[in-house]
Amino acid sequence: MPDHIQETKNWIVNVIVGYNFCPFAKREVLRDSIHYQVEETTDLMVALQTLLVECQRLDEEESMETAFVLYPNTFKTFKRYLKFLDLAEALLIHQEYEGTYQLASFHPEYCFADAEADDPANYTNRSPYPMLHIIREESLEAALKSYKEPESIPERNIRVAREMGLAKMQDLLKDCYKH
């Protein structure tokens, strides 16, 4: 059986932190303030409920900065995942978490709206499994204030991924499955 959490940690450390795709991730990795939850269900309602449970966990455990909810058995296609993401974001609003938490989305087939499927830039959001990253908005706002030109982060990531090329980005993702 795969170790979904270890493979996700490999991806975060080796890809996201390793290539600085998120300049705020390294601090949380070093602080060990990231919670990982694997939801094995294929039931949409259970998947949404798990998201709420993780938001509640973040409410209760202030030392935990952020959380990843992994859905290895659900949302195999990116199209289905995007529909789930819409429901998840609507649920956060309905549960009055808007302004408290926001979601970042990652999927093995991630494709930006105006990108070709084989664009290396997609790999900045391609992860070992479909997952949602729950981010504390207050912490994100503070981090962005301390970062010079935060609007340049996505452009830099696209440039770096494209310079590395498709084969390299594919290999980086494949390497996450090695323990």
Residue 167 makes CB contacts below 8 A (sequence gap 6+) with none
pLDDT for 152-161, tens place per residue? 899 999 999 9
Residue 175 makes CB contacts below 8 A (sequence gap 6+) with 10, 14
Q: In which band, very low, low, confident or very high, does the pLDDT at 32 lie, cut at 50, 70 and 90?
A: very high
Mean pLDDT in residue range 25-33? 96
Q: How far is it, in rounded angstroms, from Cα 3 to Cα 139? A: 29
Mean pLDDT estimate for the chain: 95
Q: In which band, very low, low, confident or very high, does the pLDDT at 148 lie, cut at 50, 70 and 90?
A: confident
Residue 92 makes CB contacts below 8 A (sequence gap 6+) with 51, 55, 98, 101, 102, 103
Quickly tell me which residue has 């992994």 as its tokens: 70
